Amino acid sequence: NAGVTQTPKFRILKIGQSMTLQCTQDMNHNYMYWYRQDPGMGLKLIYYSVGAGITDKGEVPNGYNVSRSTTEDFPLRLELAAPSQTSVYFCASRKGPTNEKLFFGSGTQLSVL
């Protein structure tokens, strides 16, 4: 099993550009999450999904959009990139909603210049 796969690993954007961060998992997990990690700030939840066709906002959703058309894929869209979106982005998934283990991808390092 590949687990949670994120692409790309690194990306540099110019202010105002758009891009999509890809995330796919092969574990048939219903619950998927997008976090961003800034230095010294831990992980902050951007969006999450509890199943195909269902998404909801997390703590810091402004400037981002998501979709969940299949169980496997949960892409994160950045529209009009801003320097404040420079961060490391992690996608994660888990089987159930409570004490289940959260599986993380290896992250996408994004710089907006």
Least distance between another protein and beta carbon 52 (Å): 15
Chosen residue from 59, 69, 95, 111 binding another protein by CB under 8 A: 59
Query: Is the separation of the CB atoms in 63 and 110 below 8 Å?
Result: no
Chosen residue from 1, 2, 97, 113 binding another protein by CB under 8 A: 97
Nearest to 48 by CA among 39, 40, 29: 29
Note whether 27 binds another protein by CB under 8 A.
no
Q: Beta partners for 65?
A: 77
Classified as helix, coil or strand, 83 is helix
Note whether 42 binds another protein by CB under 8 A.
yes
Chosen residue from 2, 62, 101, 113 binding another protein by CB under 8 A: 101
Least distance between another protein and beta carbon 99 (Å): 5
Tracing tokens 């981002």 back to the chain, one arrives at 64
Nearest to 20 by CA among 92, 76, 94, 66: 76
- Whether the link from the prior residue into 61 is cis, omega within 30° of 0, is no
Instruction: Write out the residues near another protein by the rule CB under 8 A.
Output: 4, 31, 33, 35, 40-45, 48, 50, 56, 58-59, 90, 92, 97-99, 101-102, 104-107
